[in-house]
Amino acid sequence: MWGQEYRTASGGCAAALDEHYAHTMSFGRGRGHAVLRGAATEYERAVFRALSALIGEERDEQVAIERHFELLKEFPRDLMSLKRAQLICFYMGRPDTSLKFVEQVLPENQDQNYIYGMLAFPLLELGRMDDAEKAARKGLAINKNDCWSQHNLCHVFQQECHFKEATEFMKSCSPSWAACSSFMLTHNWWHVAVCYLEGEFPTSKVLEIYDHNFMTELEKSDCEAAEVYLNALGLLLRLHIRGQVDLAKDRLAALLDALTNEKIWHVEWLLDLLVLWALSSMGEITRADNLLESLRSRVSSMDTKKQQVMQKAIQLAEAVYEYGKGEHKKVFDILGPDFDALSCKMIGASDEQVDVFNEVWYTVLINTGESSRAIEVLEKQIRKREGAPFLWRLLEKAYSLHGRAADASVASEKANALQAAYSR
Express as a percent the part of the chain with pLDDT over 70: 98
- Confidence band (pLDDT; 50, 70, 90) for 1? low
Q: Does residue 424 or residue 129 have the better pLDDT?
A: 129
pLDDT digit string, tens, across residues 190-213: 999 999 999 999 999 999 999 999
- Cα 303 from chain centroid (whole Å): 24
- Confidence band (pLDDT; 50, 70, 90) for 157? very high
Query: 100: which residues sit within 8 A by CB, 6+ positions away?
Result: 69
pLDDT at 19: 84
pLDDT at 77: 96
Query: 121: which residues sit within 8 A by CB, 6+ positions away?
Result: 86, 95, 98, 132, 148, 152, 155
CA distance 344 to 123: 19
**Which sign does the torsion angle of CA 226, 183, 174, 251 carry?**
positive
At residue 219, what are phi and psi to the nearest 5 degrees?
A: -85, -10
CA distance 135 to 152: 9
Mean pLDDT, the chain, whole residue set: 95
List the domains of the chain with CATH numbers.
32-160 (1.25.40.10), 369-423 (1.25.40)
pLDDT digit string, tens, across residues 230-274: 999 999 999 999 999 999 999 999 999 999 999 999 999 999 999
pLDDT digit string, tens, across residues 293-350: 999 999 999 989 899 999 999 999 999 999 999 999 999 999 999 999 999 999 999 9
Instruction: Record the pTM.
Output: 0.92
pLDDT at 37: 72
pLDDT at 2: 60
pLDDT at 192: 99
